[in-house]
Amino acid sequence: MSQPAKPPSIIDLYPEETREAAELLKQAVPLMMRHDIPPNPVHYALWYTYSRGSEPELNRRLDKVVEDFDAFPLETASRLFRDYIIRGELEEARAGQQQVIELVDDIEGDVSRSVIGGQYYQQSLSQGLSALQEPIVDDLPSVLSDLQESTQLMQDQQEKFLYRLRAAQQEITHLRSQLERAHLAATLDSLTRVFNRHAFTRLLERALNESQQGLALVILDIDYFKQFNDQYGHPLGDRVLQHVGQLLRDLLPPEAFAARYGGEEFCVVLRNCANLNGVLDFAEQLRHKIQSLRVKVRRTDQILDSITASFGCAMAEEGDTFESLLTRADDALYQAKRAGRNQVHPITSETMLSA
């Protein structure tokens, strides 16, 4: 079965570097403000594309909408987003669905032919056995020839079916790989290769619903990251984030998971923690690893050794929600920053009272 051409992904459609994307941002947001359009992700994607000018038909339709309506209709935004922003993703999903349908149809046809062939073979065999039971078989060579021909036909059909079954297994493996890549793209942060914010929210809520016992949250924030980006540029800042993501993946204990929660903010959820001390030990280990990072500025060969991070830690308590646990860990992070940064702080009753 031939593979359909893969449509470009959303990331492929937006190749702009940081500065170019920032310029488009400066154009898109005022456009939304001018027409009193909430700058949510769907609207922003539409007006960002509008500012690029890469979809003239989308621009025409957006101009028409803001001309005809006092408020930007939500259903119109959803339809335009589907038609012009994520159409490649939808096409890929439809292509995968069509592959599965064709694959099932092919297998069904092969099974039907195999069943019919089996019935025909069984009929020929019955007729041959009946003929052989006659006292005198005048046409024995003919009976044997028919049996041989039926046997050969059955064998050929079985070989074809086996061939198609093996091809189907390869197709299934390919489709499973596509599904896994799509799943990873939907849950992982593309830069750091840890979970994204949406996946983190869902996973932490699920963990809290299962059991709060032994569950802990660590929030870390890279110190003075904005100044770092301003001084050395966003590409170098991205490299730092990639290094931190790698450290998290390397140091995570079993059943733990990490996510990029914001620009330079990461979260780690730990399980089976006996007490807060073990959580603090993990955070301290990670803090030392980040402090040991050395990043080279390629244009000057300068080695940077001043990368640090602040940490806030909190153990889950009975009745905790996503928001309550996150708030306590964030309060601890604030205490670490207020105390001078590059520190690990737990959230305790004393720190909550002094906050």
Cα 30 from Cα 41, distance rounded (Å): 15
The residue that leads in pLDDT, 224 or 104, is 224
Cα 47 from Cα 179, distance rounded (Å): 30
Rg (CA), the chain: 31
The two three-digit tokens of residue 179, written as one number = 């599904």
Residue 355 is predicted with a pLDDT of 47
Residue pair 218/311 in contact (Cβ under 8 Å)? The answer is: yes
The two three-digit tokens of residue 23, written as one number = 């310029």
The residue that leads in pLDDT, 51 or 164, is 51
pLDDT digits (tens, 9 = 90+) for 153-201: 766 766 676 676 667 667 666 666 665 565 556 788 888 999 999 899 9
DSSP 310: E
Consecutive H or E run containing 166 = helix 140-187
pLDDT digits (tens, 9 = 90+) for 78-132: 778 877 776 655 455 555 555 665 665 666 566 556 656 655 666 666 666 566 5
Cα 341 from Cα 287, distance rounded (Å): 11
> For 265, phi and psi rounded to 5 degrees?
-110, 130
CA 141 to the chain's CA centroid: 66
The residue that leads in pLDDT, 335 or 93, is 335
- Which CATH code of 3.30.70.270, 3.40.50.2300, 3.40.50.300, 3.30.70.890 fits the domain covering 197-346? 3.30.70.270
Q: Is the pLDDT of residue 264 over 70?
A: yes
pLDDT digits (tens, 9 = 90+) for 266-319: 999 999 999 999 999 999 999 999 999 998 888 888 898 889 999 999 999 999
Consecutive H or E run containing 309 = strand 309-315
> For 10, phi and psi rounded to 5 degrees?
-60, -40
The two three-digit tokens of residue 86, written as one number = 């994520």
What does the buried/exposed string (b/e) look like for 116-149 if buried means 16 or more CB atoms within 10 Å of the residue's CB?
A: ebeeebeebeeebeebeeeeeeeeeeebeebbee
Residue pair 32/50 in contact (Cβ under 8 Å)? The answer is: no
Put simply, whether the predicted model's pTM sits higher than 0.75 gets the answer no
Cα 155 from Cα 120, distance rounded (Å): 12
Residue pair 319/341 in contact (Cβ under 8 Å)? The answer is: no
CA atoms 56, 60, 63, 66: torsion sign: negative
